[in-house]
């Protein structure tokens, strides 16, 4: 088989190419957030920090592409606009914005879970006469904000990482916050060489162990349920996790996202931390999340986010109780008439997650059915890797797979391996198509929804459930049953002769 990679960006790197705002950093440890398929590569690359910044990950991706001589197969600055399956020859035609029409037997959608940025629908946004920036497409040469009055809308992971950096430069920084977020300190530090060597000496074993966890990451998942601890003991455990840093906090106990009482103790622990860190009680009051469970929106990981509000030049602005009325040519105007004159306005307002990139391509499957119609009431997939009615099309980390709840690199590798094995199987058997059967897809989707319904995840207006996009169906999109269980089920289905697929 020959492969052609079509990429919208001017360079490779995906998320790590686009999201180059100051402070952008991974929240999975570098030693784990890397490819495992080549021991040579994982031994050779040297990570400089415990959690890698965006620029380092982008260099790593480029290093891998060069090392494997992949560039000749990649066509940059090319956005796929349509993909159409033709049953008469069982091939896909893939059209692009630069006028290509490729014919392909297999179509692999590696379009990303968070790749379609959203601008807020705020009146007058185009009237702003200052500089309008987006964390999701930051100027490549950086921006000098010294002496500037800067506003940032949004307080998700992107903003929480950017704010401490913006604050150091800006004359005044206004953080427009609709929903306060829970955030855990990364406790990032330079890579300790003994730690690096320990990982490199034990990579094969560690990678295997990581795949036996719920999130494909070794971060000391607590085996115990929160109910086995007293409140005091539980708080001690949370303190240990807080000191260790990172998303491991959300794995302190096994039921943190399913037992509301345990979740509330964790949430309260973080609220108290915010109260202690932020010296001005009025600012702290704005920044404390109260009305949704911790983890129901993706947990944030920061470096001195809350501390930054102790600076005189940083002001949190509550736009929940006093929403933005409009953007004027000078800046932001709130409903009560308060105005904030700005030189620069930054949008950190999130993404059309999981389905956004797929639905922006006009995908037509067997008998002309449209993906947009099939998913009108929410995404349906078989294992998040295939869609009924769309033969020979695969989705990498698609909705219905653990994806964003895991170390993405590992989940991507698992899907890539599965797809390659599947195509090899078809070629070996002299078969032309593979297609998920509707009932298998129904069962898988129902299974995912059923697990999600036993969790706290429907209790927040998050992108996990599509709540950040007007009119998007409220369906919990990732698979929350655990990466370990997922891969067992995928392996079992495959071993049973690709149960639930029709191969012809
Ligand atoms: P997120 O986490 O989706 O955050 C977007 C933020 O923007 C969030 O605070 C939103 O508030 C806010 N937002 C969105 N639209 C508006 C409008 N119209 N007005 C005011 N505020 C708004 O995106 P990120 O880029 O930070 O992070 C995405 C993922 O990347 C993250 O989860 C990690 O996986 C990495 P809301 O909470 O909806 O009230």
CA of 205 to the centre of ligand 1 (A): 37
| pLDDT by 10s per residue, the chain, length 504 | 999 999 999 999 999 999 999 999 999 999 999 999 999 999 999 999 999 999 999 999 999 999 999 999 999 999 999 999 999 999 999 999 999 999 999 999 999 999 999 999 999 999 999 999 999 999 999 999 999 999 999 999 999 999 999 999 999 999 999 999 999 999 999 999 999 999 999 999 999 999 999 999 997 778 899 999 999 999 999 999 999 999 999 999 999 999 999 999 999 999 999 999 999 999 999 999 999 999 999 999 999 999 999 999 999 999 999 999 999 999 999 999 999 999 999 999 999 999 999 999 999 999 999 999 999 999 999 999 999 999 999 999 999 999 999 999 999 999 999 999 999 999 999 999 999 999 999 999 999 999 999 999 999 999 999 999 999 999 999 999 999 999 999 999 999 999 999 999
Q: What is the predicted pLDDT for the residue at 451? A: 96
C-beta of 114 in contact with ligand 1 (< 6 A): yes
**What is the Cβ-side half-sphere exposure of residue 404, based on CA atoms within 13 angstroms?**
23
CA of 502 to the centre of ligand 1 (A): 40
CA of 286 to the centre of ligand 1 (A): 17
Question: pLDDT above 90 covers what percent of the chain?
Answer: 99
> Which atom of ligand 1 sits closest to the CA of residue 157?
26
CA of 294 to the centre of ligand 1 (A): 15
C-beta of 153 in contact with ligand 1 (< 6 A): yes
- From atom 35 of ligand 1, which residue's Cα is the shortest distance away? 157
- From atom 38 of ligand 1, which residue's Cα is the shortest distance away? 468
> Which atom of ligand 1 sits closest to the CA of residue 158?
26
Calculate the alpha carbon distances from 250 to 161, 278, 459, 479 in Å.
19, 22, 16, 17
Rounded CA separation 410/282 (Å): 42
Hey, what's the torsion of the CAs at 46, 48, 50, 52, to 10 degrees? -90
Mark out the alpha helices in 360-437 (DSSP H runs): 371-374, 408-429
C-beta of 156 in contact with ligand 1 (< 6 A): yes
* SS3 assignment, position 75: strand
Q: Which helix (H) or strand (E) holds 54?
A: helix 54-67
> Which atom of ligand 1 sits closest to the CA of residue 136?
25
C-beta of 120 in contact with ligand 1 (< 6 A): yes
- From atom 36 of ligand 1, which residue's Cα is the shortest distance away? 179
Do the bridges between strand 362-364 and strand 80-86 make them parallel or antiparallel, or are there none, so unpaired?
parallel
CA of 190 to the centre of ligand 1 (A): 29
Q: What is the predicted pLDDT for the residue at 221? A: 78
Q: What is the predicted pLDDT for the residue at 219? A: 77
Please say whether the beta carbons of 431 and 81 come within 8 A.
no
- Positive or negative: CA dihedral 359, 361, 366, 369: positive
CA of 322 to the centre of ligand 1 (A): 18
Greatest pairwise CA separation for the chain in angstroms: 70
CA of 440 to the centre of ligand 1 (A): 34
**What is the Cβ-side half-sphere exposure of residue 362, based on CA atoms within 13 angstroms?**
9
- Here the tokens at position 108 are 């692999």
C-beta of 350 in contact with ligand 1 (< 6 A): yes
C-beta of 315 in contact with ligand 1 (< 6 A): no
Rounded CA separation 45/33 (Å): 12
Burial class (CB in 10 A: 0-12, 13-18, 19+), 146: exposed
List, in order, residues 6 or more apart from 18 with CB less than 8 Å away: 9, 115, 117, 136, 137
> Which atom of ligand 1 sits closest to the CA of residue 320?
39
> Which atom of ligand 1 sits closest to the CA of residue 179?
39
C-beta of 154 in contact with ligand 1 (< 6 A): yes
C-beta of 116 in contact with ligand 1 (< 6 A): no
Ligand 1 binding pocket mutation candidate from 14, 133, 178, 351 (most atoms within 8 A of CB): 178
User: pLDDT tens digits, residue range 440-461?
Assistant: 999 999 999 999 999 999 999 9
> Which atom of ligand 1 sits closest to the CA of residue 121?
18
C-beta of 155 in contact with ligand 1 (< 6 A): yes
- From atom 4 of ligand 1, which residue's Cα is the shortest distance away? 156
> Which atom of ligand 1 sits closest to the CA of residue 178?
39
| Pick from 504, 499, 498, 454: nearest CA to 476 | 454
C-beta of 159 in contact with ligand 1 (< 6 A): yes
CA of 329 to the centre of ligand 1 (A): 24
């Amino acid at each position: 088989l020959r492969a052609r990679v079509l990429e919208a960006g001017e360079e490779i790197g995906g998320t790590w190419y686009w999201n180059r705002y100051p402070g952008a950093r991974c929240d999975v440890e570098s030693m784990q957030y890397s490819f495992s398929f080549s021991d040579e590569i994982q031994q050779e690359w040297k990570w400089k920090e415990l959690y890698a910044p965006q620029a380092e990950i982008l260099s790593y991706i480029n290093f891998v592409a060069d090392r494997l001589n992949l560039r000749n197969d990649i066509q940059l600055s090319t956005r796929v606009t349509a993909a159409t399956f033709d049953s008469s020859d069982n091939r896909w035609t893939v059209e692009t914005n630069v006028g290509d029409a490729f014919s392909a037997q297999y179509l692999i959608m590696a379009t990303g879970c968070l790749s379609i940025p959203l601008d807020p629908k705020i009146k007058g946004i185009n009237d702003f006469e200052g500089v309008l920036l987006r964390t999701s497409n930051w100027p490549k040469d950086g921006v000098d904000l010294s002496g500037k009055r800067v506003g940032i809308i949004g307080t998700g992971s992107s903003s929480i990482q950017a704010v401490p950096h913006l604050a150091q430069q800006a004359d005044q920084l206004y953080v427009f916050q609709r929903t306060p977020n829970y955030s855990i300190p990364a406790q990032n530090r330079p890579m300790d060489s003994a730690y690096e060597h320990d990982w490199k000496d034990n990579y094969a074993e560690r990678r295997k162990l990581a795949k036996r966890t719920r999130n494909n990451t070794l971060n000391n998942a607590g085996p115990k349920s929160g109910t086995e601890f007293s409140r005091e003991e539980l708080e001690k455990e949370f303190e240990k996790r807080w000191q260790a840093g990172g998303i491991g906090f959300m794995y302190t106990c096994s039921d943190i996202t399913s037992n509301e009482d345990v979740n509330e103790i964790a949430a309260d622990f973080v609220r108290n931390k915010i109260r202690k860190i932020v010296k001005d009680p009025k600012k702290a009051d704005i920044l404390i999340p109260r009305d949704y469970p911790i983890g129901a929106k993706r947990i944030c990981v920061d470096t001195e986010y809350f501390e930054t509000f102790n600076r005189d030049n940083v002001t949190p602005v509550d736009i929940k109780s006093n929403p933005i009325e409009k953007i004027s040519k000078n800046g932001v105007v709130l409903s009560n008439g308060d105005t904030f004159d700005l030189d620069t306005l930054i949008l950190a307002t999130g993404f059309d997650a999981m389905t956004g990139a797929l639905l922006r391509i006009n995908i037509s499957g067997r008998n002309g059915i449209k993906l947009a119609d099939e998913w009108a009431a929410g995404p349906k997939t078989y294992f998040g890797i295939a869609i009924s009615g769309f033969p020979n099309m695969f989705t990498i980390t698609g909705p219905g797979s653990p994806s964003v709840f895991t170390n993405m690199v590992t989940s991507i590798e698992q899907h890539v391996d599965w797809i390659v094995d599947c195509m090899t199987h078809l070629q070996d058997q002299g078969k032309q198509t593979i297609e998920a059967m509707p009932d298998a897809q129904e069962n898988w989707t129902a299974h995912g929804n059923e697990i999600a319904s036993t969790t706290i995840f429907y209790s927040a207006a998050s992108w996990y459930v599509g709540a950040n996009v007007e009119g998007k169906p409220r369906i919990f999109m990732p698979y929350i049953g655990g990466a370990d269980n997922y891969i067992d089920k995928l392996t079992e289905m495959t071993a049973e002769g690709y149960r639930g697929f029709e191969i012809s």
